[in-house]
Structure 1
Amino acid sequence: MSCLLLADYLNEIFEYLEDDKITLHSCLLVNRIYCEIAIRILWRNVWNISYYKTHILLAIMKILIACLPNESKDLLHKNGIFIITPTQKPPLFNYASFCKVLSINKIDQMIQHILENQSHYINLNYKKYLLLQEIIKMYMKQVSSLKSLCYYSSENSKYIQNPITYFIGAKNCLSDLTELNCSSNIYSEFFYQISQICYNIKSITIDFRVIISDGLTNLISLQNNLESVTLKSDYYCRTEFTISSLVKSSLTLTKLKIVNYNTSISFISKFKNLQELILSSNANDYSHEFNQLQHITFSQLRVLKFLYARPRAELLIKFLENNGKNLTEFYVGHHDISLNLAIAKFCLNLKSLFAIFVKDELEILKVILNNCQYLENIRVWCGNGYLDDKEFLNVLVKYSSKNFYELEIYYCISSEILPEDLEKFFINWKNRKSKKSLSLTIFSDNEENFSLDMKNMEIIKIYIETGLIKKFNFLPVSNLFQ
């Protein structure tokens, strides 16, 4: 087999491993062909490595610094910035050129970490700004087609003298941008300039601060095919963002996420092609807006999530009556018995459900499991007056459909299930007609409470080895509403 043909095959295989950084990293050590292909995919989005420790992120930063052109290194040295890189020789690859995702904030955080540990530095803020600017210049010049830019105002980035769009190569680098995550208070010139370069951004996330820079609404209104918008704000800070800039995208917008956004959301009624609507607020249940929205049919809506507060139950039930039949995902973080009954009645095509049931609502849960024959995933609360985990697992085995395979349990205080009952659940699951392996996630801030002297964990490990459990995660409660 020729090297070119082998490379084509490997490239296709490695594309499937893009999110499996550990496996991709192991491929670097096989041979040069494996290394050249894997390194390009690894560095495509090098910041998407949430499980990495700080020291690994620092190592990535030092590699980027090693990739800086000589004129940038000379400038840093003239200003007293000396950072030890992995090797004094030129890097084997031009790692920065492989990047398709630029997170200015991740770079900024790592620079802060690196230089603050150098106590001998004088004019520390200026040096942090200088290093950040030289790295951004390198990206603009060496990356031919950036896909995603994350740029939130920070202590260092706000002192950049020129917008990043003024750096050499910026127009080519940014012209194919499809995702922008930014804060509203970045200097206006950035928004004005990028709106002259980028017309095909598909996803925009805006974190609203006290200041909303000129040019932001213009940037949004100029996009030709905007599909996803996320609006975030501190609910103590009322925004005056003009929603009219989104009207042009009323036909193309399919995903809308609103987090602590205090301006009225009645504008949602204009986006009839929405497929995904996520509302997340501790302070506002949006009941006033749902007086209008409850009567509107969104024929394409598939995903509806209320991550914290929800509208009044009667308004949400009416909304489900009009839209529930098309939903495949429904998340609601507040308990209401009438709402749970409405799920069983109107949401028959669900594949994923997060709802809260109390201990005496097992019969309602049975009805949902019987009626929702496409259900693949469920997330519930157990303990402290909510579902008894033993009783719940027994119901799940008996009444869930053959499509079901993913179980997520949040323990309010601690698990009460005994190891023998947990093992009985796995044995019964094994004997089901459906042979799908089970994915199990436990949300708790106290792993010891679930482990029961590690007996429950030992049982889980046994059934992972047999293949009955395909995946197991133990996650902190902070991940519950993500």
Structure 2
Amino acid sequence: MWRFNEDLLFLIFEKLKNDKKSLYSCLLVNRTWCVTAVPILWRNPDQFCVSNNSKNVLLYNVILLHLSEESREILKNQGMDNLITETTYHRPLFNYMSFWKYLILHILEDIISLKMIEKSNASILRNEILKLFINKNTKLIQLSIPRYFDSQLHLIPEAECCLSELEIFNCDIKIDQNILKGLAKICKSIKKITLYVTSYDSTDNYGIFNLIEVQKNLNEFYLFNNIFPKHEQFYKTLEESLIKHADTVQHLRIGWNPNTRFLSFFVNLVYLEIQKLKFINWYDPIANNSKNLSLPNLKILKVYYIPLITTVNLIENTTGNLSEISIHCDNDTYYVDYKILIQTIYQNCPNIRYLKLSLDRNLSIPEFENLLINCQFLNGLIINVCKDYEFSWDKLFQVLAKSSPISLFKFKFYSKVFKLKDIESFFSSWKNRNPILLRINDSRIKVDQKLVNLTEEYKAKGVIKKYSFGYGMDLIEDFEWI
């Protein structure tokens, strides 16, 4: 019966895995609660890394306390006595390192940087710390490798045992390609790969293709590209590697100019994100072929700075299953016909729940009202307006108050400046409806106190359930309510 209680506790604590505050309090109840909560709290070390340097120092010191006597002797012989002084050394109550399932190697690099280790000794310290995580007693779920990392992980004894069940892999393309080739011999069950391309010369590294091709059940692939993708051969080879997994890939993010037929292979996609680099004039091979795409299972579509016709064609080929759409247009680069776009959404997406739009003066208010009337399951709406002085916030707020479906009560508005009377009219017209969850972003660093007071007033009246203010473009976080 006591064993059942422990198992039940574990299931409950698993539900709290993202609620660190509650899990911390569980540590203080009794030993059983503590023993059950600690492995969950220490599963992912990245959650402990914050901007507060003093807290990071504590985490790094805990890591160093786990070093074996052999490792401590090696460091001592190399003159790193300051890391292993007897006055600070004592074994922790738990072997916290054994609970880590997510090995985020930028933490290791931060330790070396924070401790100001000389370059000649850095590799020695790195290798000794890696032994804490890559050994026969650990089974890692996630591995994240930072830029310029060159330690040969696959050559560490028992790396195959530790990494053979890896499911999530993140890396910058600018790492030693021998690491990727070595991991390809060990890791064949990776389900999610995230790749960062962050420098012009980084695409000389082709080891990633080996790693992609040997996977048995690749489900998610995300590429984040912060530079102009001029290396066409790299992306062509990347496409060829990914196409081999077209039957299993359900989540895909691309940040390059794809081949005309590339997307047509991925008929099982549930999530698709396409990001074109802003202010770069790509030709758009998808535009003329997107009408021939078939995306029957697609539920989430996110597009950034791609031509309107491509977005429209993608939506039209989703057979009504889309539940979330996020569209960010570059209003300064080309004219956006919002009438066509919004018609396409409400005619093809009756089940949509979350919608994010970047708007300007070209918005057709009557068509936007048709969207609200036809999309009766709409639950969350993000509106980003680039040119407030040309945009009719008053008309938008009026139609929101008049025609929003009952299900809609989550709003995010990004504006350079709100007229107080417009948003007050919106609040006052929202009476007797579901209380609003509201996020307002303003480009000004200091939030208008009058707006804060107005929002607080309507929260007291029950019109607003919860609200927050911010500044800048952090609306990119989309719908954290999900």
- 1:358–1:385 Cα contact (<8 Å) kept: no
Aligned residues: 457
Number of the residue aligned with 1:410: 414
Q: Using the alignment, how far apart are the partners of 1:15 and 1:129 within structure 2?
A: 36
Name the structure 2 match of 1:300. Answer: 297
2:332 is matched with none
- Separation in structure 2 between the aligned mates of residue 265 and residue 56 of structure 1, nearest angstrom: 49
Aligned amino acid, residue 371 of structure 2: I
Residue 368 of structure 1: which of 371, 396, 416 is its match?
371
Describe how 1:235-314 pairs up with structure 2 within 5 A. Answer: 235-239=227-231, 240-241=233-234, 242=237, 243-259=239-255, 261-262=256-257, 264=259, 266-281=261-276, 282=278, 283=280, 287-307=284-304, 309-311=305-307, 313-314=308-309
Shift of 1:366: 1.4
Q: Contact 1:145–1:176 (CA<8 Å) still a contact in 2?
A: yes
- Letter paired with 2:186: I
Sequence identity (%)? 27
Q: Given that residues 253 and 272 in structure 2 are in contact (C-alpha distance below 8 angstroms), is that contact kept between their aligned partners in structure 1? A: yes
> Is the CA contact (8 Å cut-off) linking 2:290 and 2:313 kept in structure 1?
no
Q: Any idea what SS the aligned residue of 1:18 has?
A: coil
Match of 1:88 in 2: 89
Kindly indicate whether the alpha-carbon contact (under 8 Å) linking 2:430 and 2:463 is maintained by their aligned counterparts in 1.
Answer: no
Q: Secondary structure at the match of 1:448?
A: coil
Q: 1:450 to 1:22 in 2, by over 3 A?
A: farther
Q: Determine helix, strand or coil for the equivalent of 2:420.
A: coil
What is the aligned partner in structure 1 of residue 56 from structure 2?
A: 57
Mapped partners of 2:282, 2:438: distance in 1: 31
Task: Name the Cα RMSD after superposition.
Answer: 2.9
Distance 2:349 2:316 in 1: 8
- The answer as to whether partners of 1:355 and 1:379 remain within 8 angstroms in 2 is yes
Aligned residue for 2:6, secondary structure, equals helix
User: In structure 2, the residue corresponding to 1:356 is in which secondary structure?
Assistant: strand
Matched, 1:351 2:353: yes
CA 1:144–1:455 in structure 2 vs 1: closer, same or farther (change >3 Å)? same
Q: How does 1:132-281 map to 2 (within 5 A)?
A: 132-141=126-135, 144-154=138-148, 157-158=149-150, 160=151, 163-208=152-197, 209=199, 210-211=201-202, 212-239=204-231, 240-241=233-234, 242=237, 243-259=239-255, 261-262=256-257, 264=259, 266-281=261-276
Runs (4+) of structure 1 exceeding 6 A deviation are none
> 1:78 deviation in Å?
2.5
Superimposed CA distance per residue, residues 126-177 of structure 1 (whole angstroms, 9 cap, x where no aligned partner): 33333222222210026521111111233xx33x3xx111212211110110
For residue 460 of structure 1, report the CA deviation from its aligned partner.
7.0
Give the letter for the 1:202 counterpart.
K
Residue 36 of structure 1 aligns to a residue whose secondary structure is helix
Alpha carbons of structure 1 residues 414 and 50: separation in structure 2 relative to 1, 3 Å: farther
Residue equivalent to 1:443: 441
Cα distance, 1:28 vs structure 2: 2.3
Q: Which amino acid aligns with 1:269?
A: S
Displacement of 1:192 in angstroms is: 2.2
TM-superposed deviation, 1:386:
6.1
CA deviation vs aligned residue, 1:403-455 (integer Å, no higher than 9, x gap): 223211112x233335x954x755654512xx4x5432233353533443741
Residue by residue, what CA displacement relative to the aligned partner does 1:97-145 show, whole Å, maximum 9, x if unpaired? Answer: 1111111123313431x123xxxx6xx2233333222222210026521
Distance 1:231 1:3, change over 3 A: same
Q: Does 1:43 align with 2:46?
A: no
Name the counterpart of 1:397: 401
Aligned-partner residue type, residue 362 of structure 1: I
Could you say if the C-alpha distance between residues 320 and 421 of structure 1 is closer, same or farther in structure 2, counting changes exceeding 3 Å? closer
**Post-superposition CA distance 1:256-282 (Å, at most 9, x none):** 1012x2464641111111111101122
Question: Which among 328, 331, 335 is matched to residue 333 of structure 1?
Answer: 328
Structure 2 partner of 1:380: 383
Q: Is the 8 A contact 2:438 2:464 kept in 1?
A: no
CA distance in 1, matches of 2:49, 2:324: 25
The question of whether the paired residues in 2 share the 8 Å contact of 1:381 and 1:387 is answered with no
Q: Secondary structure at the match of 1:408?
A: strand
CA deviation after TM superposition for structure 1 residue 95, in Å = 0.8
Stretches of structure 1 lacking an aligned partner (at least 5 in a row) = none
More displaced 10-residue stretch of structure 1: 355-364 or 223-232: 355-364
Cα 1:152–1:178 change in 2 (3 A) is same
The residue identity in structure 2 corresponding to 1:111 is I
Deviations 1:205-224 (A, max 9, x none): 12235243343212211111
Q: Deviations over 1:64-100 (max 9, x none)?
A: 1112222222222322332389953211111111111
Structure 2 gap ranges (5+): 330-335, 478-482
Measured after TM superposition, the shift of residue 380 of structure 1 is 0.1
2: CA distance between counterparts of 1:144 and 1:306?
39
One-letter identity of the residue aligned with 1:141? N
Q: 1:12 to 1:429 in 2, by over 3 A?
A: farther
The separation in 2 between residues aligned to 1:321 and 1:327, in whole angstroms, is 10
Q: Partners in 1 of 2:141 and 2:458 — Cα distance?
A: 40
Residue correspondence of structure 1 range 45-124 to structure 2 within 5 A: 45-48=44-47, 53-81=52-80, 82-83=82-83, 88-112=89-113, 114-116=114-116, 124=118
What SS class does the counterpart of residue 57 from structure 1 fall into?
helix
Whole-angstrom distance in 2 between the partners of 1:68 and 1:133: 11
Give me the whole-angstrom Cα distance separating, in 1, the residues matched to 2:112 and 2:464: 45
DSSP-derived class of the 2:320 partner: helix
Q: In structure 1, give the amino acid aligned to 2:96.
A: Y
